[in-house]
Structure 1
Amino acid sequence: MATAPQQPRWTGSLRLRLLVATVCGVALAVLLAGIVLDSLFREHVLRQFSASLSQHLDQLTARLEFDAQGRPVIDPQSLSDPRWQRPYSGLYWQVDEAGGAGPGQAAVLRSRSLWDTRLVLPADALPGGAVHAHEGRGPADSSVLMLERTVQSDAQPGARWRLVVAADLHEVRAATSRFSGVLAPSLAVLLVLLALAAWAQVGIGLKPLRALQDAVQGVRQASAGRLHGRFPSEVQPLVDDFNAILDDQAAGLARARTHAGNLAHALKTPLSVIDQAAARALRTHDSELARVVQEQLGLAMRQIDWHLARSRVAATRRLPGLRTPIGPAIAGLVRVMERVHAQRGLRIRVAPCAQQLSFAGEAQDLQEMLGNLLDNACKWAAAEVKVWVEAAAIDTRAALAVHIEDDGPGIAAADVETVRARGVRADETVPGSGLGLAIVQDLVGLYGGRLDLEPAAPRGLHAVLLLPAAAVPGKAQSVNS
């Protein structure tokens, strides 16, 4: 059968998917915030820079005068900022002739800070008094921001002059670079902190699912019959529905078991009547027919018990919450065997076992399996039968290993598979129907266990019954020898 392709690991984990989605969303938000903050800071710094430059332009305009010929005159000493006087200081001013009919003259006046250079202005026309801002090239090919205004003299209305102030943009760009250098690692740290917060939030948010998993595991391991615990309101409806399904399953299995019991009673009653009639016929006169009928009735009763046990286990082996303590079950069966075989003087030695060891199944099934093995051991034992229990494992599941050993003749290795067959008896001189080991083998197989038969030392048979164990929450299973 073709199997479905396995999903990538990250798509199979709800925790990882939520964490990746959250971190990606937070990273995108932090990135956009960084771009917006950097842009806002650049705009703010440039606005402040332009405002400062505008004040210088206003001061230059206020200090502008005209001589008798209508030529512009500015006293450098009247300007307050000393950078106007320092060559290549980064702050410059210049006055150009805008020209009337002609092209005009550049750098009619200029600040000492320009030294032997001049500002190259774009060829544009401005209305009187309007301020125009644009970037250009300054001394030493530096990038500068220029603000210009057009003015004219009252004495010569036809003459127009362009007043320009410029400042080097290096400091502005250095400030924005420093801000970006601080902003980037700060946002990176913020992203890490938000990712950790998202990880904690996902862990806390999904913690109830871990509790739900533990509760389901308890049901699966037969340590509980229903899901118990406190769950969030989003998960509680799922828990209630699952518990309702478990209740319906238990009710259906109870009805099936009741029907099976009714069927057994309906069959056993007429069979018992026939058996009693055959027994009376044997008491009055020796009848071969009555003897055969009685023997076959005994076999039929055993077959009914066997098939009912199979159907019961098939219905209940997946039922959660089944739990049968192993110690009391063994003790009760040993008391029965001691009474049944009292005339033989057998010693049945039972090693103490831990109280928490329990079988994950029906008590009746456990008694059926252990009773058959103990009965066989007592039938064949010469003087002693030993019983002990220890913790084991079936694949990765917790299990119980029940050991039953007798000192009888044992079974040859070649005959082990033969005696497992239904209706086969190792010795016809010993009473029995030959169904005991077959019933045990079928029952333990339905529970997912195993029955092993091996020679005992120095003689006898050693039977090992491997059964699923009911989990004990919070405790490891152990056996006291």
Structure 2
Amino acid sequence: MKQLIASHWRHSLRFRLLAATLVALAFALVLAGLMLGGLFRDHVMRQFSQSLTVQLDQVTARLEFDAAGQPQIDPQTLSDPRWSRPYSGLYWQIDGAGPARQRGVLRSRSLWDVALSVPNDVLAHGSVHVHEEAGPAGARLLLVERTITRDGAAATPWRLIVAADLSESAAAVTRFNGVLAASLATLFVLLCAAALAQVAIGLAPLRALQRTLVGVHAGVSPRLIGRFPSEVQPLVDDFNAVLDRNAEVVERARTQAGNLAHAIKTPLAAMSQAAAVALRKPEASGAELAALVEEQVGVARRHVDWNLARARAAAAQGVPGARVPLQPVVSGLLRALERVHAERGVTLQCLPMAPELAFAGEVQDLQEMLGNLLDNACKWARHEVRVSVTTSGLASGSPLRIVIDDDGPGIEADRRESVMARGARLDESVPGSGLGLAIVSELASLYGGSMRLQSAPTGGLRVEMELPGA
């Protein structure tokens, strides 16, 4: 159970949004805290160093040399009382800068009996160096120093050092970091609450969509109802289109089932009546009964084939990836029909076509449509049947234009519409391979195409059919 709950949360959009937001917030606030803490520490140390430089300037101004060139400072001239209080945290010291490096030649009263230890680096005259070193009682000190020389004398230079305890500055930085951490933690909590509210408000339309889907599943509504955000609305529209198509397919299936049942009732009733008559009159000819049964079975078979073709075409319409090359199908039908009508001496001619032309549908439907039209043309042609296949555009998937011409008697213009009328029975059309022109027209329309009857240049009938290209 725990694993199921964990898997549900890992695959939850709410969890992903919250996790990504909280991780980004935590990273940003930690980075901001480190940057702000570092900037404040640098600012404090820079201010502290500047204040020590001011103290160094004050001590430098009070420095004097005696007749022997030895440095002297009158403690009374220094204004800060910490110079005189032992271990007060503010110190000055003068070291010899020559090769002998005399340490602590003079130092403030606050150092008492301790001398500051300074790195033995080389200082340019007048330049100020800053160091962090250990001081009295192990305290951390910030030291600033410069080299000075007695005016007008080629005497040994001296190092003047001023140092101060860093504990107060460190305490200030620590207090600031504590306040900063508490502030950022409070801000993180507030931002987390804002993120929760944002996710809840942002995903509210999805909950509404879920409720609508429950209604569709329960049969309360046939489609998704409501307006949703622009990011979700296209998905809702596509889903509604799928629902509408499914409803259309179901309704079409019910209609076709009813039509098929109604069409088969007549042959079954005729055969039942003939069987009853045969039972009452055993002396009647069995050949007549067999002919009637064969005829009615053929009628029923044609109705079944018709409805199956309609159902297959309706199901294949708009299916992605359906592709039937035209050239092999047309060539195969022409070879078969040449053998069927060989005794009539009809010539079947196919004009050159591009090998890449293809039909977007089922191969059985293409064979039935073309086979019926070609068989009708061969039946009524005197000498020749001509087929041409072109496309109405240069782009891939452009509609196909299939033209079949014969040199037979043709069909009068006033009869063409009745021949192609929807629902015309096969025995009312010109006999052919089992599907009349009306059914071919209906199959073409189910694929989004069309069929027209015209006069052929050879004087016979021209059938022009347009089908979707792949």
Q: TM-score interval w.r.t. the shorter chain?
A: 0.5 to 0.7
Amino acid at match of 1:76: P
Residue 256 of structure 2 corresponds to residue 265 of structure 1:
no
Q: Tell me which residue corresponds to 2:71.
A: 72
Q: What are the superposed Cα offsets for residues 55-112 of structure 1, whole Å, 9 maximum, x if unpaired? A: 000111111111111111111111111111111110000111112xx41321111111
Amino acid at match of 1:82: P
Alignment of 1:64-463 (within 5 A): 64-99=63-98, 102-271=99-268
SS at match of 1:134: strand
Q: What are the superposed Cα offsets for residues 301-323 of structure 1, whole Å, 9 maximum, x if unpaired? A: xxxxxxxxxxxxxxxxxxxxxxx
Higher mean Cα deviation, 267-276 or 204-213? 267-276
- State the identity %: 61
Q: Tell me which residue corresponds to 2:320.
A: none
Q: Is the 8 A contact 1:70 1:155 kept in 2?
A: no
Cα 1:185–1:6, aligned 2, differ >3 Å: closer, same or farther?
A: closer
Larger RCO (alpha carbons 8 Å, 6+ apart)? 1
Amino acid at match of 2:255: T
Amino acid at match of 1:64: L
Amino acid at match of 1:109: L
Cα 1:288–1:42, aligned 2, differ >3 Å: closer, same or farther?
A: farther
Hey, which bits of structure 1, 4+ residues long, moved more than 4 A? Answer: 270-282
Q: What are the superposed Cα offsets for residues 435-480 of structure 1, whole Å, 9 maximum, x if unpaired? A: xxxxxxxxxxxxxxxxxxxxxxxxxxxxxxxxxxxxxxxxxxxxxx
Distance in 2 of aligned mates of 1:139 and 1:270? 121
Q: Is the 8 A contact 1:219 1:225 kept in 2?
A: yes
SS at match of 1:8: helix
Q: Tell me which residue corresponds to 1:10.
A: 9
Q: Is the 8 A contact 2:69 2:155 kept in 1?
A: no
Amino acid at match of 1:79: L
Amino acid at match of 2:200: G
Amino acid at match of 2:85: R
Q: CA deviation at 1:115?
A: 1.1
SS at match of 2:203: helix
Q: CA deviation at 1:9?
A: 2.9
Distance in 2 of aligned mates of 1:10 and 1:281? 75
Q: CA deviation at 1:271?
A: 4.5
Amino acid at match of 1:259: Q
Cα 1:82–1:12, aligned 2, differ >3 Å: closer, same or farther?
A: same
Distance in 2 of aligned mates of 1:6 and 1:193? 27
Distance in 2 of aligned mates of 1:75 and 1:7? 78
Cα 1:12–1:48, aligned 2, differ >3 Å: closer, same or farther?
A: same
Q: CA deviation at 1:6?
A: 10
Distance in 2 of aligned mates of 1:44 and 1:224? 68
Q: Is the 8 A contact 1:93 1:165 kept in 2?
A: yes
Q: CA deviation at 1:264?
A: 1.5
Q: CA deviation at 1:278?
A: 9.2
SS at match of 1:193: helix
Q: CA deviation at 1:288?
A: 11
Cα 1:288–1:114, aligned 2, differ >3 Å: closer, same or farther?
A: farther
Q: Tell me which residue corresponds to 2:50.
A: 51
Distance in 2 of aligned mates of 1:176 and 1:65? 38
Amino acid at match of 1:72: P
Q: CA deviation at 1:256?
A: 1.0
SS at match of 1:163: strand
Q: Tell me which residue corresponds to 1:21.
A: 20
SS at match of 2:129: strand
Amino acid at match of 2:154: P
Distance in 1 of aligned mates of 2:173 and 2:238? 61
Q: Tell me which residue corresponds to 1:418.
A: none
SS at match of 1:183: helix
Q: Is the 8 A contact 1:135 1:146 kept in 2?
A: yes
Higher mean Cα deviation, 266-275 or 25-34? 266-275
Distance in 2 of aligned mates of 1:6 and 1:52? 62
Q: Tell me which residue corresponds to 1:62.
A: 61
Distance in 2 of aligned mates of 1:8 and 1:219? 27
Higher mean Cα deviation, 214-223 or 270-279? 270-279
Distance in 1 of aligned mates of 2:246 and 2:78? 98
Q: CA deviation at 1:268?
A: 2.6
Q: CA deviation at 1:225?
A: 0.6
Q: What are the superposed Cα offsets for residues 34-61 of structure 1, whole Å, 9 maximum, x if unpaired? A: 1111111111111111010010001111
Amino acid at match of 1:22: T
Q: What's the TM-score, normalizing by structure 1?
A: 0.55
Distance in 1 of aligned mates of 2:138 and 2:263? 113
Distance in 2 of aligned mates of 1:190 and 1:142? 36
Q: CA deviation at 1:231?
A: 0.4
Amino acid at match of 1:189: T
Q: Is the 8 A contact 1:97 1:104 kept in 2?
A: yes
Distance in 1 of aligned mates of 2:119 and 2:126? 17
Q: CA deviation at 1:114?
A: 0.7
Segments of 5+ residues of structure 1 without an aligned counterpart are 290-481
Distance in 1 of aligned mates of 2:151 and 2:169? 38
Amino acid at match of 1:144: L
Distance in 1 of aligned mates of 2:11 and 2:96? 76
Q: Is the 8 A contact 1:95 1:107 kept in 2?
A: yes
